[in-house]
Structure 1
Amino acid sequence: MGARAEPTLPRPLQALAAGFYPQREDWGSHTLPADFLIGPDGRIQIAHYGRDIADHLPLPRLYQALGTPSSNPPPSVP
C-alpha cells in the first residue's frame, strides 16, 4: 500500500496560517490611477496620472506617441 496523502487546507486558509491577513482597502485616499507607456529602452515615455478610477491615458495621445494615426489603430492582441 502507498503512503496516505496529508489533507491540505484550502489556499485562503493556507495564507492565513502563513500570516497573511485580509485588510480593508481604502481606494479613495491611498491610491492614484496611472497609465505608463514604456519605451523599447525601458524608460517611461508617457506618464498619465488620473483624477479618478475612470481617468485613463486618452487613446489619441497613445496613438500619437506610437506614431499610429488614430483612424488606423494597431490590431488588438487576442
Structure 2
Amino acid sequence: MATIMTHVAVPLVLRMGFGKAKVSNRLVILACIAAILPDVDVIAFKLGIPYASAFGHRGFSHSLLSAVIVGLFASSTLAI
C-alpha cells in the first residue's frame, strides 16, 4: 500500500535515473511535495469532515481538477 513516505519514491528515482543535470533540486523538492499533497486531506478527520464527503479523504484533493491546479502552480513556480 502506498504511504506518504513511498509517494516520494517516483521523483527520487527519476532524479537518480536522469541525473542532477536534467532534474534540478528545485524540481525534485516540488515533485515530492506534489506527490504528498493529496494526502494532506487526512486533516479532514480532525476537522470532523466525514470520509465520504467531497472534501474528505480521497475527495477533492485526489481529483483531476486538483492535479491540474497543483500542476499549474508548479509550472508557474518553476518558470521563475
Q: TM-score, normalised by structure 2?
A: 0.25
Higher relative contact order (CA 8 A, sep 6+): 2
TM-score (norm 1): 0.25
The structure with more radius of gyration: 1
> Which structure: greater helix fraction?
2
Relative to total residues, which structure has the larger strand share, 1 or 2?
1
